Amino acid sequence: MPPLPWQTTQITPALQNWFAEYPVGGIILFADNVQSIQQVQALTADMQAASYHHLFIATDEEGGRVSRVGRLFADGDFPILPAYEIGRTGDPEMAYMTGRILGERLLSLGINMNFAPVADVWTNPANTVIGNRSFGNDPKLVGIMVDAAVRGLNSSGVLSTIKHFPGHGDTYEDSHYLLAFYNHDRQRFDQIEAPPFIRGIEAGTHGVMMGHIATPQLQNATAPLYWMEPWLESGTLPATFSDFWVQDVLRGEMGFDGLIITDALEMRALSDNFTPGQIALGVFMAGADILLMPTNVTATFDALIEAYHDGVFTEERLHESLRRIFWARQELGDL
């Protein structure tokens, strides 16, 4: 799921050729792709027409400071507040209605997947990358609000995605620029970070987004690729590459069988430390279904195709992700 080229607001012949060469499963839109309601509607319709199969068209529309299309709509009688302000009201109905209204707006534009709500618990006041994007610092309250927001989004017909697993709210680092670290043990995770994700899964979220977060005190992953070994040994393997977090905890203990989506693979937490091919294969081997914003689409495709032909992963592993993708498309009523 790559982004469009910078400031692309309409389909061009070059973009049509790109879709033909790289049959991507989705596109993420940003504010630079957005000019007006009619323009976005035309863009999304034309992308669907140009694609070999029905696309997931996604964006980050959380409300508050992370808003890609919000400026196109007047709030009217229902203001769209930052998540933290919603949390302060203690009113899950506000979280539900915010999710529903955001979803209805996105669907009217032809956007069918939202990377929201944020399920991180904001326990580190120095953490600005999450900050007021979180519903608060109390895991019980955050869980209640995440549950309501997921149900609201789902009721609109848009696919919901909770983020950033296993939890970005207590880190000091911003994974856009640095590998982030979660420096706590399992007891802390179970008590603080896990509950909102569990509530979101129980509410029916379609996706969980993995954060580029190292967990030195929680290192039970394996290293199916040789270059992972020093990262495991030093406690710096990102959760995005960790079968412990993806398979053992998220799939196994939490019972999540929906879409696992990476955070943007171009973020410097990964791109400063790994090649595009390593990133692509690392996250896929860990269990990701959707690879968001690879630094190099060609290198990503080539790495996965080569690994498949070399027997690094099986056709069954590929089918596991395809089944989840087809399920999500059925949820949208597209199959």
End-to-end Cα spacing for the chain: 20
Both tokens assigned to 51: 């694609």
Tell me, yes or no, if 176 is annotated catalytic: yes
Rounded to an integer, what distance in angstroms lies between the CA atom of residue 256 and that of residue 76?
A: 36
**Considering only CA atoms, which of 221, 189, 217, 190 is closest in space to residue 287?**
221
* Annotated active-site residue in 60, 170, 263, 289: 263
| Alpha-helical segments (H) within the chain | 13-21, 37-50, 83-89, 92-109, 139-156, 186-188, 194-203, 229-234, 243, 268-271, 276-286, 297-309, 315-331
With beta carbons less than 8 A apart as the criterion, state whether 117 and 142 touch.
no
**Considering only CA atoms, which of 38, 21, 27, 19 is closest in space to residue 2?**
27
Count Cα atoms within 13 angstroms, Cβ side, for 330: 8
Taken in order 2, 48, 257, 92, the sign of the CA dihedral is positive
Q: Which amino acid is at 51?
A: S
Rounded to an integer, what distance in angstroms lies between the CA atom of residue 255 and that of residue 266?
A: 29
At 312 the three-state DSSP class reads: coil
* Annotated active-site residue in 176, 248, 302, 334: 176
Rounded to an integer, what distance in angstroms lies between the CA atom of residue 192 and that of residue 186?
A: 10
Question: Is residue 28 exposed (0-12), middle (13-18) or buried (19+ Cβ within 10 Å)?
Answer: buried
**Residues with a known catalytic role:** 176, 263
